[in-house]
Amino acid sequence: MLELGITFDFAQFVMDNEIFKMIRKAVGGIRVTDADMAVDIIKEIGPGGEFISHAHTFENFRKEQSQSRLIDRTMRDTWLLSGGRDLTERAYEEANHILNTHKVAPLAPGTEGTIRSIVEEAEEEYGIKR
């Protein structure tokens, strides 16, 4: 338990973030309007018709599906040809990219002191000695 509180895997955090985005998309629901459901197009094309090449499908298919940067949804052969990197490998690459390129704005004046006082108050409350 002690180790759990002091270690952290940045790649796991990146994976958790991807999973969270997918869950948020799923619980956000599905809009059900005539335009979103393409009612006019369904009537126009009719039973047994082909919808995949219709402009409406092309314009809308990406916005309704979650878009993961880490989960590769290509067919296995294509995935293998592109290097076959799994989710963990992709997550480590993304975590390293973030750690190497992310720029952080400096804290506003006084913020560091406020944080320090909060930590000291918590340490005193819980009897933590430094």
Q: Give me the sign of the Cα torsion angle 107, 113, 118, 122.
A: positive
Is 14 within the bounds of a domain? yes
Say what the pTM is. Answer: 0.59
Task: List, in sequence order, the alpha helices (H) in the chain.
Answer: 2-6, 10-27, 39-45, 55-64, 76-81, 87-101, 111-125
95: left (phi over 0), alpha (psi -120 to 50) or beta: alpha
pLDDT digits (tens, 9 = 90+) for 85-96: 999 999 999 999
Tally of structural domains, the chain = 1
Which domain range does residue 89 map to? 2-30+69-125
Neighbouring C-alpha atoms within 13 Å toward the C-beta of 57: 8
Is 23 within the bounds of a domain? yes
Is 50 within the bounds of a domain? no
Torsion angles phi and psi, residue 65, rounded to 5: -105, 140
Q: What is the mean pLDDT of the chain?
A: 87
Q: Cα separation of 31 and 37, whole Å?
A: 8
pLDDT digits (tens, 9 = 90+) for 107-120: 999 999 999 999 99
Is 22 within the bounds of a domain? yes
Is 62 within the bounds of a domain? no
List Cβ neighbours of 28 (8 Å cut-off, separation of 6 or more). none
